[in-house]
Amino acid sequence: MKFLLDNDVFFASIYAGHIHHLTARRWVDSYKKEGWGIASETYLSALRLLMNPAVMGGSPLSSKESLQAVETELSGEHPGLVYCARKRPDKKLLEKASGHRQIMDIWLIQIARETDATLVTFDSGNAKKWPEDILIPT
């Protein structure tokens, strides 16, 4: 099986100050060998968060340090891939959004489907709505 990590899981696996860091780190380390990756949007979001003083407790990383952190996570014995969508957003999927916060989640579901992956997220609401597409790390 292949996994596509959303930003909450990917960022939590990198940043020790994240509330879900230990869970994300344990899960990612256990499942990397199965095949994994992130969307290009997740890559950029992780960089943005690592450089944000409010998120990083007043100690943001520089762009060079942020890139190194993300690239380090993507490398190693079981490297992660960065996926770009092959198609435009699927209108039928996006029409199922019940609010503005679901747009990116549905986009990641589309990318996961295109790459034969399961989306890994901490969003239990979406996991209930899309159980065939989503896995919650434990």
Go through the domains of the chain in sequence order and give each one's CATH number. Answer: 2-135 (3.40.50.1010)
Q: pLDDT tens digits for the chain (138 residues)?
A: 699 999 999 999 999 999 999 999 999 999 999 999 999 999 999 999 999 999 999 999 999 999 999 999 999 999 999 999 888 998 988 898 888 888 999 999 999 999 999 999 999 888 888 899 999 999
**pTM assigned to the model:** 0.93
SS3 state at 126: helix
Q: Where would I find the H helices in 40-119?
A: 40-50, 63-74, 91-94, 102-114
